[in-house]
C-alpha cells in the first residue's frame, strides 16, 4: 500500500505575523489571504486580528496575538506535569505554597526557544531560573516581563526540550505555562498531489483546511490512488523558517 491518506498537516514556524485584514473571509478565518484560523474558546468567528469576543479567550491549545501560537504544553503534557499548569485557566495555581520548583514534562523531546509563565502575582517580585532536561541554568537564558502576571523565558538558541524545571521562589505562585514552537503556517496554503482517489473527495487541500477530524463532511482527508510514488506537496505563499511538521493520519 502506498497511497497517501492524511487528515491534516501542521507546520510550525516561529514567527507570528498577522496580515492586515480585508473583509470577506468565510466564518472562522481572517487575514489578508484568509489563511489565519480563528481560535476562540466559544465562537467560531473572531475579529479582523483574530481577537475574541469580550467574554471569551483563546481556546485550549492556542495563545498569544490572534490566538495563533500553538501551545505545546496543552497538547503534549507528560504524566508528571501537574494539571493546573496546562488547563487553560490562569486562576488555578500551584496548591503547594512551600514549593521550591515546578516541573513540566512533554511527552517527547521538542525543539523550543521560548515559553511563557503565568504567575498569581507580579513575576518581577521573584527570582528564578530554568533547567532544561535536568541541566542548567543556561547562560543564554533571558526573562522578559510581559505584564503584571506574565513572564517569557527565552534562550539564545533552540533546545530540544523534554522537560522544564522552574527553580526559585516564584514556584508557589505559578498558575500556567505555555510552550510553543510557533504557529501553523500550513493552513490554507496551496497543496497538490500525484492523484486524487474518488473524484473531488480526498483532494490535497483537505490536509490544510484547519480540520483534524476525519468526519467533517466525509471529505476531510487527503487520499491518493495506490501508486508509487504517492506524493502530496505543499507550496507556501511566502517563505517560512520551519521548526516542526505534524501529520495527522486517519
Q: What distance in Å separates the CA atoms of residue 166 and residue 101, rounded to the nearest whole number?
A: 5
CB of 55 to ligand NAG, least distance (A): 6
CB of 75 to ligand NAG, least distance (A): 17
Q: What distance in Å separates the CA atoms of residue 215 and residue 19, rounded to the nearest whole number?
A: 31
- Quote the strand ranges of 23-173, DSSP E: 29-30, 36-37, 62-63, 69-70, 101-119, 128-132, 142-147, 150-168
Give the max Cα distance, the chain.
Answer: 62
**Which CB, 2 or 127, lies closer to ligand NAG?**
2
CB of 54 to ligand NAG, least distance (A): 9
Q: What distance in Å separates the CA atoms of residue 179 and residue 117, rounded to the nearest whole number?
A: 9
**Where does this chain bind ligand NAG (CB under 6 A)?**
41-42, 55-57, 192, 194
b/e sequence 101-115, b meaning 16+ C-beta within 10 Å: ebbbbbeeebebbbb
CB of 52 to ligand NAG, least distance (A): 8
**Which CB, 40 or 72, lies closer to ligand NAG?**
40
Backbone angles phi, psi at 206, to 5 degrees: -65, -25
**Which CB, 87 or 163, lies closer to ligand NAG?**
87
**Which CB, 55 or 98, lies closer to ligand NAG?**
55
**Which CB, 161 or 230, lies closer to ligand NAG?**
230
CB of 20 to ligand NAG, least distance (A): 27
- In sequence order, the β-bridge partners of residue 144 are 152
Amino acid at each position: 500500500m502506498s497511497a497517501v491518506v492524511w487528515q491534516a498537516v501542521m507546520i510550525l514556524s516561529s514567527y507570528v505575523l498577522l496580515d492586515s485584514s480585508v473583509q470577506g473571509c468565510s466564518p472562522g478565518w481572517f487575514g489578508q489571504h484568509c489563511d489565519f484560523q480563528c481560535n476562540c474558546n466559544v465562537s467560531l468567528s473572531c475579529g479582523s486580528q483574530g481577537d475574541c469576543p469580550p467574554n471569551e479567550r483563546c481556546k485550549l491549545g492556542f495563545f498569544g496575538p490572534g490566538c495563533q501560537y500553538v501551545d505545546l504544553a496543552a497538547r503534549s503534557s507528560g504524566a508528571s506535569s501537574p494539571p493546573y499548569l496546562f488547563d487553560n485557566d490562569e486562576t488555578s495555581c500551584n496548591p503547594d505554597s512551600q514549593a521550591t520548583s515546578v516541573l513540566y514534562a512533554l511527552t517527547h523531546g521538542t525543539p523550543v526557544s521560548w515559553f511563557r509563565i503565568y504567575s498569581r502575582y507580579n513575576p518581577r517580585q521573584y527570582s528564578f531560573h530554568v533547567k532544561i532536561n535536568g541541566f542548567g541554568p543556561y547562560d543564554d537564558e533571558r526573562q522578559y516581563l510581559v505584564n503584571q502576571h506574565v513572564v517569557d523565558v527565552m534562550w539564545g538558541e533552540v533546545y530540544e526540550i523534554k522537560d522544564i524545571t522552574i527553580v526559585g521562589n516564584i514556584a508557589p505562585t505559578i498558575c500556567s505555562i505555555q510552550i510553543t514552537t510557533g504557529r501553523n503556517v500550513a493552513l490554507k496554503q496551496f497543496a497538490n498531489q500525484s492523484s486524487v482517489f474518488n473524484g473531488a473527495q480526498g483532494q490535497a487541500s483537505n490536509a490544510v483546511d484547519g480540520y483534524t477530524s476525519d468526519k467533517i463532511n466525509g471529505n476531510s482527508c487527503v487520499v491518493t490512488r495506490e501508486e508509487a510514488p504517492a506524493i502530496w506537496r505543499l507550496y507556501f505563499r511566502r517563505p517560512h523558517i520551519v521548526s516542526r511538521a505534524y501529520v495527522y493520519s486517519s
